[in-house]
Amino acid sequence: MDEDGSRGVVSRQTVLVAASAVLGLMLSGCLTMAQKATERTQDARTARATGTPEPDLTNGAAEPVPIDRELWVDPQTPAARQVREWVAEGRTAEAELLRQIADRPVAEWIGDDPEERTRSITRSAARAGRMPVLVAYHIPHRDCGHHSAGGAVDAAAYREWIRRMAAGIGDRRAIVVLEPDAVAHAVDGCVPDDLRDERFALLNEAAATLAALPGTRVYLDAGHPAWIRDIRRLVRPLRHSGIAHADGFALNVANFQPTRVVEHYGRRLSRALGGKPFVIDTSRSGNGPATDEPGAERWCNPPGRKLGEPPTIRTGREKVDAYLWIKRPGESDGLCNGGPRAGEWWPEYALDLVGKAEA
């Protein structure tokens, strides 16, 4: 990812009705006492099955910070495995700090084998009565050859990849963040002119394919306020890329912009797109962007960052469908600021994020 890059939901929030068929696709709403009891039972069963106690995070507050009960927490993330390893080694203080990541829902980034991976994730989430957050990240010429270079070899391969991802999700519930950086890179000139129209067409088809799934919410990535500052430059590319098919757009993926700034930017973009809602990546926004790191180092594993708002699909904020941890806290941005390769687990960086977390 370059200096200006970023990486990589939510329910239509329909009111609950009595019909059980609707409950199967419900993404949010007011839970009855009976439903809350059922959910607590599911949590307990999941905890017993995985050997992981139900989280009770405080982030230093007098009362636990509520954990969203709709979003799926994978008990096998690198953070969760690290917690268990540190507990076994007697490093209990560090393990407790790291639970602030391990016990929260984070996105699952989908790469080379989309069908089996998405099927496994969505089935596990469905058994727990939860909804996973998935990131489709395989566009050709991904990340313009920078830290997260790769993706499909050509348009045909990408279309097949999206088809397989959709097949893996099926009719189960999921939130999909579609191709972080892809639109903004086309706008900022990183994508060559002769490939731009193809990229928009591929995104349009992908948005339509995934949005056609009955339980899937799709959010097309739109960068962040410090990247494409003039929202007018994004409107036409987003339309060409299928925003009409999508449920909304995503902002601040893998970046550090303060949530209030992102919300203001998102509402302006929403108005320009006819009122589309949006989701915000708050995984590392708690301290804002780095100002004392040179060049690209500001966006790649900058020190001194911290966790932002906990993931939730009940933000209470106009047009903001969710705060999500799309970038997985503690996983490297790339070979910069002492980090390992992009996507690799880096426990020291994770501790830096949680050690400075505030209530």
Residue ranges and CATH numbers for the domains of the chain are 20-355 (3.20.20.40)
Candidate list 181, 247, 281, 321, residue with the active-site label = 181
Average pLDDT over residues 118-146: 94
- For 277-297, what is each residue's pLDDT tens digit? 999 999 999 999 998 766 667
85-94, 103-112, 347-356: the lowest-pLDDT one: 347-356
pLDDT of residue 120: 97
Average pLDDT over residues 254-272: 98
Average pLDDT over residues 193-217: 97
Q: Which pTM value belongs to this model?
A: 0.81
Question: How far is CA 177 from each of CA 26, 182, 236, 353, 357, rounded to the nearest angstrom?
Answer: 19, 11, 19, 23, 25
Q: Are strands 320-324 and 108-110 parallel, antiparallel or unpaired?
A: unpaired
pLDDT confidence of 112, banded at 50, 70, 90? confident
Q: At a CB cut-off of 8 Å and minimum separation 6, what does 72 contact?
A: 105, 121, 124, 125, 128, 130, 131, 132, 133
Is the pLDDT at 303 greater than 60? The verdict is yes
Average pLDDT over residues 236-265: 98
pLDDT confidence of 143, banded at 50, 70, 90? confident
- For 310-333, what is each residue's pLDDT tens digit? 999 999 999 999 999 999 999 999
pLDDT of residue 147: 67
- For 51-105, what is each residue's pLDDT tens digit? 333 333 333 333 445 567 899 999 999 999 999 999 999 999 999 999 999 999 9
Candidate list 43, 68, 74, 143, residue with the active-site label = 143
pLDDT confidence of 3, banded at 50, 70, 90? very low
pLDDT confidence of 18, banded at 50, 70, 90? very low
pLDDT of residue 158: 97
Is the pLDDT at 28 greater than 90? The verdict is no
Q: Cα dihedral angle (82, 88, 94, 95), rounded to 10 degrees?
A: 60
Rounded distance, CA 179 to CA 151, Å? 10
Q: Give every strand in the sheet of 278-281, ordered side by side.
A: 108-110, 133-136, 174-178, 216-221, 248-251, 278-281, 320-324
pLDDT of residue 66: 58
Candidate list 4, 221, 321, 333, residue with the active-site label = 333
pLDDT of residue 294: 66
pLDDT of residue 355: 81
CB burial of residue 212 (10 Å; 0-12, 13-18, 19+): exposed
pLDDT of residue 67: 63
pLDDT of residue 333: 92
4 is known as an active-site residue = no
Give the start-end residues of each E strand in the chain. Answer: 108-110, 133-136, 174-178, 216-221, 248-251, 278-281, 320-324
Average pLDDT over residues 123-151: 90
pLDDT of residue 149: 72
143 is known as an active-site residue = yes
